[in-house]
Structure 1
């Protein structure tokens, strides 16, 4: 097994182990649990250099069970009030915690804990990636384009809130569930979006983040309480976007926009799965922002050629989305759609309502759209100036190369 595969296995198993052990010992011992899990993996990596087990996942599960005993001893030594572990019923109970259904339940509880409204919104995504997904501080820092020190502070802050607020390790019920579920879905959406459109310098797509967001979203769909129209729509959206991942770049690793993507490379089983999820999502007449985003993504996938895209329908869905959830990014995209329809007057109206500051690290998207507007209205000098602004603010190398090619074409006009 390659190191990369081992790292992947460790990461996914880490989230499982932390979640199960928190369920056994409680959130108040989260620090000790995370240290213990990390220690187990270090020992495993050393042991596996000599000989890798036939069933690595079973090996890690067994190691986790053994670690339960170690943690009990450690906490007992520190005079924590915990039940005395014996070989009889306690061992049977611990084994039950490691059943597949119980592991999934524990992970879903951890997701809801990581996305608790008492946690700062900027801390939730880091905390979820660390505790549920097993991402290292370095990986979180890399994924979110944030300094490692900042990630550490966010994790410390999140753990402090968990401790001080004495959060319960459960899935809320009744009136508390909808708001918490909304927070969970927002975090999963952000994780997926960072993977689908990465801000990293060298990588345009982070498939590990996309895959992780989809894996966590599946937990919502497996549980009767969290299986809602919105969670189905969110999963459909992820399926539709993931279906296009392999077509976003060509064999030379160059960024391709929708117009130039090879649509035969789209992954049709994922599109079919997304359609199934959307059918479930619209069984009730409750429409979330994820419904509208999935409808937009689906509309792009329906077109066998770029020229066949139904831009009027897409504009309608964006208007519906913006009415439900007003955002600068929606206004920007509506401007781009209007340009596809050659309606430059409406496009400019949308562009005038936003500014580059609205997009922070992605300000280049605003400048690029403004460049397209000037280009479409034959103001080529202004179009080049705005492309220069985009080039000065873009971080990803593939997107920079894409913008440079656009500039070269404009200079030939």
Structure 2
């Protein structure tokens, strides 16, 4: 039982504690800080075997603070300075940093560090998942479909860039916020997508990643200087997608496609939050891909049944989205909509416009779309051949099973 409590707290408090201590010590001591926080959770695992404290969070904060003081003493000893840490300004400052509003502020600073332009994009998301969300290198590797040693190298390079470029633990200058926010939102979006449609072999949905993306979005929205139509639209999009999470997997751990999902399982408080965020999003002058994607998600949620879906509206939204920002996945998603409209000529035109190599690890979805087209047209042999191609490119076991069942249905 204590392991479950520690695991839960580690996931939800590791990033907070690292951010607080980094704000106090500075980014140059990041690795030492991560070790100190790790030590705190190891100590919790050991000491909570007999009894979990009444307030586990307060215990963790206290132990982390004391460990911080130990580190500070050793750092000051290296510099041959004699400071009294346990009383006085330094101790009081650490106490103040553990207040809720300071915790949130520290985490926001860390988000902007993670998305600093000096870091390579693939280093940014790895660094964000590690320092902000507390993911292990193994978990990051699984989330990003990369080998663990590659993640270690990315994290090492990110920390080296932070040192060499003297990146500070602070918000960007006001004139740089808008540009930096574009990357921050992209990292949040990618984090959510990996959770909502995981490329992990064994698990299609990773709720931790989805929850972390929503939490980071909410943190940013609490600060007026970071608010924009794009950020509100991104938050709306995440709420809309998350509201359908429970209906995506059946009780016997099978994928349930949109047509067969139990809409009674859709979580309407989240849909309401999403609608409220979209109302805010249109009050701002800026427009983003998140506006269009949220509009598309909203169309699905407004339909009482799959048959009631307004596919014409969704098709129009995809047309506008592609004009706003050309993307192979937009073409692929639009093709699936055209299948529902029985516009097979347009479906083929869209599919022929796609460079499948641009789809990366998701290329199997392209072949799956072709299979759907030929199923709808009643051309079983062609459908089976494309399902075979999709199966070859699928790493997730649930999706393999889903495609295999579909293939067997055609043969049977």
Query: What's the TM-score bracket when you normalise by the shorter of the two chains?
Result: over 0.9
1:66 aligns with 2:72: no
Give how far 1:338 is off.
0.7
Cross-structure match for 1:175: 175
Give 1:184's aligned residue.
184
Deviation of 1:2 after TM superposition, in Å, equals 4.5
CA positional deviation for 1:86: 6.2
Partner of 2:308: 308
Partner of 1:411: 411
Q: Give the direction of change, closer, same or farther, for the CA distance of 1:277–1:83 in structure 2 (3 Å limit).
A: farther
Q: Is the 8 A contact 1:315 1:337 kept in 2?
A: yes
Where do 5+ consecutive residues of structure 1 fail to align?
none
Q: Which residue of 2 aligns with 1:196?
A: 196
- Alpha-carbon distance in structure 2 between the residues aligned to 1:50 and 1:5: 13
In the other structure, the counterpart of 1:32 is 32
- Residue 51 of structure 1 and its aligned partner are, at CA, apart by 2.1
Q: Deviations over 1:261-305 (max 9, x none)?
A: 010111111111111111111112422111111111111000000
What is residue 345 of structure 2 aligned with on the other side?
345
Aligned residue in 2 for 1:16: 16
In 1, Cα distance between the equivalents of 2:171 and 2:133?
Answer: 18
More off after superposition, 355-364 vs 245-254: 355-364
Alignment check: 8 A CA contact 1:356 1:367 kept: no
Alignment correspondent of 1:336: 336
CA distance in 1, matches of 2:85, 2:58: 23
Query: Partners of 1:31 and 1:105 in 2: how far apart?
Result: 21
Q: How far is the alpha carbon of 1:84 from its aligned partner? A: 6.1
Query: 1:95 maps to which residue?
Result: 95
TM-score normalised by the chain length of structure 1 = 0.96
User: 1:330-409 maps to which residues of 2 (within 5 A)?
Assistant: 330-409=330-409
Asked whether the 8 Å contact 2:228–2:286 carries over to 1, the reply is: no
Cα offsets for 1:374-409 (capped at 9, x unmatched): 233343222211110001111111111111122123
- For each residue in 1:34-77, what CA deviation from the matched residue of structure 2 results, as whole angstroms up to 9, or x when unmatched? 11111121112111113211100000111122122111112123
Distance, in Å, in 2 between the alignment partners of 1:340 and 1:81 is 72
TM-score in terms of structure 2 length: 0.97
* Structure 2 unmatched runs, 5+: none
Structure 1 equivalent of residue 77 of structure 2: 77
Q: Would the aligned equivalents of 2:15 and 2:107 in 1 still touch at CA under 8 Å?
A: yes
Paired with 2:94 and 2:268, the residues of 1 have a C-alpha distance of 42
CA 100–350 in structure 1, closer or farther in 2 if over 3 Å, else same:
same
1:142 aligns with 2:139: no
Distance 1:208 1:59 in 2: 23
Displacement after TM superposition at 1:145 (Å): 2.0
Q: Structure 1 residues 45, 402: CA separation in 2 closer, same or farther (over 3 Å shift)? A: same
Task: Give the C-alpha shift of residue 5 in structure 1.
Answer: 3.0
Partner of 2:276: 276
Do 1:355 and 1:366's aligned partners in 2 also have CA atoms closer than 8 Å? no
Measured against aligned partners, the alpha-carbon deviations of 1:12-46 in whole angstroms (never above 9, x if no partner) come to 21111110111111111111111111112111211
Q: Give the whole-Å Cα distance in 2 for the aligned partners of 1:66 and 1:13.
A: 16
Match of 1:217 in 2: 217
Q: What is the deviation of 1:187?
A: 0.4
- The match for 2:155 is 155
Structure 1 residue 191 displacement after superposition: 0.6
